[in-house]
Amino acid sequence: MGTIWFWLVSIMLAGYVVLDGFDIGVGILHLWIARDDAERRTVIRSIGPVWDGNEVWLIAAGGTLYFAFPALYATGFSGFYLPLIMVLWLLILRGVSLEFRGHVGGHIWPVLWDAGFALASILLAIFYGAALGNVVRGVPLDPYRRFFEPLWTDFQPRGQTGILDWYTVLVGITALAALALHGAAWLAYKTEGELNERAFQCLRTLWWPVALLTVTITIVSFRLEPWLLWDFRANPWGFIFPVLALAGLLGVLWFARDGHDAAAFGASCAYLIGMLTSVTFSLYPNVLPSSVSPIHFGLTVSNARAADYGLKIGLVWWLIGMALVAGYTTFVYRSFAGKVGTADTETEEGY
C-alpha cells in the first residue's frame, strides 16, 4: 500500500511539474520573448485559462502527501520551514501578478505585474529545484526524525547543511533552465507569427545549457550519493526512466529544428517526467533520506505512511477523483485548443 501511494504522489508531483512547469517557464521567459504589451497579453492569454488549474496539482499533491505520509508531511514541511513559506509568498506574487495585470491599463500597472510574474516564476523554479536537491542529498534528521534547516550554512552538502549549498543551487539552476525550455516549448506550440519564431529560437538556444546541466547534475548526484544507483542495479528495468528523459531531451532539439511545435512540447514533457521519475525510482524506498545516518534515521515509505484502512479507502476516492480530473482537464484544454490569436484580434477577455 505504501509503495502504491509513493508512486501516486510521485505521479501527482510530476503532473504538477509538467503542467505548472510550462506556465512557470512562460513567466521566466516572457519579458524577453514578448516585446510589447500586445505580445505580453497574448503570452499571458496562452496560460490564462489553465494556470490556476495547473497550480491545483500542487495543492492536490500536497493534500495527498498529507494523508498518505503524515510523518513526511510533518517532518519535511516544518524542516523546510523558511523556503516553503517563501514559496508560498512567491505563489501569491505570481498568482496576483497574473490575475491583476489585465485590470488596469496605462504604462505603469502592466509593467509592474509583468516584472512580478517574471521574478516569482524565476525564483520558484530555483526553489523547486533546490527542494528536490535537498531531498536527494538528505537532511540532518535527529533521532526523532525531525530537523530544521536554515537557508544556508557553509554551502557544503555535508554536515550541518542549509537549504542552499553548491549542490542544491546547481539543481535549482538546472530546474530554472529546464522549466524555461518547457515554457519556450509551450509558447512555440501556442503562438503564431513573430512570437512563435522567437519561441522556437529560444527553444533551440536554451537546449544546449539544459543538456549540459542535465549531464552535469546526473554525474554529480551519483558521485555525491552513490546509493542512488542501488535501485538501478537491483531492478534494471528502472533504466526506462532515464532513457525516457534522454529521449525527451533529444526529441526537443530534433522537433524544434523541424518546427514540429506540438511534438517538441510533448518531448519536453517526456524529458521532465523522465527526470522526475528517475529521481523517484532511485530514492525508493526512502522518502526523505538522512544526511547524518542514512540507515538509522531516514524517513522511508514504511515509517512515514498512514495505516492501511485510510490508504485503501483513499485509493478508491483518489481513482474516482483523478478520473474526473482527467475529464475536466481534457475538456478545458480542448476548449482552449489551438493557437492564441494576437491581442488585437481577440475581443473576448477574462475580466
Partner 1 sequence: MGDALAVHRLQFAFTITFHYIFPQLTMGLALLIFILKTAALRTGDEQWNRAARFWAHIFGISFALGVVTGIPMEFQFGTNWSEFSRLAGGVIGQTLAMEGVFSFFLESSFLGIFLFGEKRLGPLGHWFSSLMMFLGSWLSGYLIVQTNAWMQHPVGYAVAADGSFQLQSFWALLLNPWGLWQYAHTMLGAVQTGCFVMAAVGAYYLLSRLHEDYGKLFIRTGVIVGILAAFLQLFPTGDGQGVMISTYQPTTLAAMEGLFQTQPGAPLALIGQPDVPRQRLDNPLTIPRMLSFLTYRKWTAQVRGLDQFPQSNWPDNIELLYFSYHIMVGLGTIFIAILAIAAWKLLRGTLFQSKLMLWTLMLALPFPFIANIAGWITAEVGRQPWIIYGLMRTSAGVSPLVSAGNAWFTLIGFMGMYGILAMLFLFLVYREIEHGPAPEHLPERRAHVL
CB within 8 A of 327, min separation 6: which ones? none
Residues in the chain: 351
* Binding flags for partner 1, 298-337, as an x/- string (CB under 8 A): --------xx-xx--xx--xx--xx-xx--xx-xx--xx-
CB 348, min distance to partner 1, A: 5
Cell reading at 209: 545549457
Residues 114-143 that bind partner 1 (CB under 8 A): none
Q: Which of 36, 105, 226, 237 binds partner 1 (CB under 8 A)?
A: 105
Contact between 202 and 183 under an 8 Å Cβ cutoff? The reply is no
CB 115, min distance to partner 1, A: 15
Give the residue with the Cβ less far from partner 1, 141 or 270. Answer: 141
Tell which residue, 310, 267, 270, has the closest CA to residue 70.
310
Give the residue with the Cβ less far from partner 1, 96 or 169. Answer: 96
CB 57, min distance to partner 1, A: 8
Residue 314, CA distances (Å) to 2, 320, 329 in order: 12, 10, 21
Q: What is the dihedral sign for C-alpha 126, 127, 132, 138?
A: positive
Q: Which of 4, 11, 91, 224 binds partner 1 (CB under 8 A)?
A: 91
* Binding flags for partner 1, 208-227, as an x/- string (CB under 8 A): --------------------
Give the residue with the Cβ less far from partner 1, 146 or 260. Answer: 146
Q: Does 11 bind partner 1 (CB under 8 A)?
A: no
- CA–CA gap between residue 192 and residue 253 (Å, rounded): 19
Q: Which of 103, 158, 257, 296 binds partner 1 (CB under 8 A)?
A: 103
Query: Is cis: bond before 285, omega within 30 of 0?
Result: yes
Contact between 120 and 31 under an 8 Å Cβ cutoff? The reply is no
Place of cell 521519475: 277
Give the residue with the Cβ less far from partner 1, 35 or 103. Answer: 103
Neighbours of 342 (CB within 10 A): 17
Give Cα 137 distance to the centre of its chain.
Answer: 18
CB 328, min distance to partner 1, A: 4
Residues 26-85 that bind partner 1 (CB under 8 A): 48-50, 52-53, 55-56, 58-64, 66-71, 73-82, 84-85
Total residues contacting partner 1 by CB under 8 A comes to 73
Give the residue with the Cβ less far from partner 1, 244 or 325. Answer: 325
